[in-house]
Amino acid sequence: MVVSACLLIASFMLLLLLLAQPLGSVLARLIAGPPLPVIGRQENILWRLIGNQNDDMDWKHYLTALLVFNIFGFIMLFTILMLQGYLPFNPQHLPGLSWDLALNTAVSFVTNTDWQAYSGETTMSYFSQMVGLTVQNFASAATGIAVAFVLIRSFARHSTTTLGNAWTDLTRITLYVLLPLSLIIALFFISQGTVQNVAAWQPFTTLEGVSQLLPMGPVASQEAIKMLGSNGGGFFNANSAHPFENPTALTNVVQMLAIFLIPTALCIAFGKVVGDRRQGRALLWVMSVIFVICVLVVMWAELQGNPHFTQLGADSNSNMEGKESRFGILVSSLFAVITTAASCGAVNTMLDSFTATGGMVPMWLMQIGEVIFGGVGSGLYGMLLFVLLAVFVAGLMIGRTPEYLGKKIDVAEMKMTALAILVTPVLVLSGSALAMMTTAGRSGMLNPGIHGFSEVLYAVSSAANNNGSAFAGLSANTPFWNVLLAVCMWLGRFAVMVPVMAIAGSLVTKKSQPVGNGTLPTHGPLFISLLMGTVLLVGALTFIPALALGPIAESLSPANF
pLDDT, one tens digit per residue, over 352-404 is 788 888 888 888 888 888 889 988 989 999 999 999 999 988 887 777 778 88
Cβ 489 vs Cβ 74: under 8 Å: no
pLDDT of residue 561: 44
Tell me the pLDDT band of 307, cut-offs 50, 70 and 90: low
Q: Is residue 16, in this structure, part of any structural domain at all?
A: no
How many other C-beta atoms lie within 10 A of the C-beta of residue 550? 25
AA identity, residue 96: G
Interacting residues of 413 by C-beta distance below 8 A, sequence separation 6+:
388, 503, 506, 507
Using only C-alpha atoms, the chain has a radius of gyration, in whole angstroms, of 23
Cβ 244 vs Cβ 219: under 8 Å: yes
Closest-CA residue to 176 (of 14, 267, 42): 42
Cβ 530 vs Cβ 390: under 8 Å: yes
Q: Which residues make beta-bridge pairs with 203?
A: 213
Instruction: Give the residue-averaged pLDDT of 247-252.
Output: 92
Q: Is residue 268, in this structure, part of any structural domain at all?
A: yes
Cβ 467 vs Cβ 363: under 8 Å: no
- Choice between 431 and 49, residue whose per-residue pLDDT is larger: 431
Q: Highest mean pLDDT range out of 73-87, 192-206, 300-314, 519-533?
A: 73-87
Task: Tell me the C-alpha distance between 240 and 332, whole Å.
Answer: 11
- Choice between 520 and 167, residue whose per-residue pLDDT is larger: 167
pLDDT of residue 310: 61
Task: Tell me the C-alpha distance between 555 and 561, whole Å.
Answer: 8
Q: Is residue 33, in this structure, part of any structural domain at all?
A: yes
Cβ 286 vs Cβ 522: under 8 Å: no
Print burial letters for 358-392: b (CB count within 10 Å at least 16), e (below 16). Answer: bbbbbbbbbbbbbbbbbbbbbbbbbbbbbbbbbbb
pLDDT of residue 58: 92
How many residues would you count in the chain?
561
Domain limits for position 484: 2-11+21-202+212-273+281-560
Largest CA distance in the chain: 79
Least reliable range by pLDDT among 129-143, 366-380, 439-453, 479-493: 439-453
Mean confidence (pLDDT) of the chain:
88
**DSSP codes of every residue in 310-342:** HHTT--GGG--TTS-TTTHHHHHHHHHHHHHHT
Give yes or no for residue 52 having a pLDDT over 80. no
Q: Is residue 496, in this structure, part of any structural domain at all?
A: yes
pLDDT of residue 73: 94
Least reliable range by pLDDT among 37-41, 154-158, 323-327: 37-41
- What is the reported pTM? 0.93
Q: Is residue 309, in this structure, part of any structural domain at all?
A: yes
Task: Tell me the C-alpha distance between 491 and 471, whole Å.
Answer: 22
CA 65 to chain centre: 22
Counted domains in the chain: 1
Q: Is residue 72, in this structure, part of any structural domain at all?
A: yes
**Measured distance between the N- and C-terminal CA atoms of the chain, rounded to whole angstroms:** 26
pLDDT of residue 480: 93
pLDDT, one tens digit per residue, over 187-220 is 999 999 999 999 888 888 888 888 888 889 999 9
pLDDT of residue 498: 94
For the chain, what percent of residues have pLDDT higher than 70?
Answer: 95
Cβ 276 vs Cβ 405: under 8 Å: yes
Instruction: Give the residue-averaged pLDDT of 149-171.
Output: 91
pLDDT of residue 543: 86
Tell me the pLDDT band of 41, cut-offs 50, 70 and 90: low
Q: Is residue 396, in this structure, part of any structural domain at all?
A: yes
Q: Is residue 423, in this structure, part of any structural domain at all?
A: yes
pLDDT of residue 560: 44
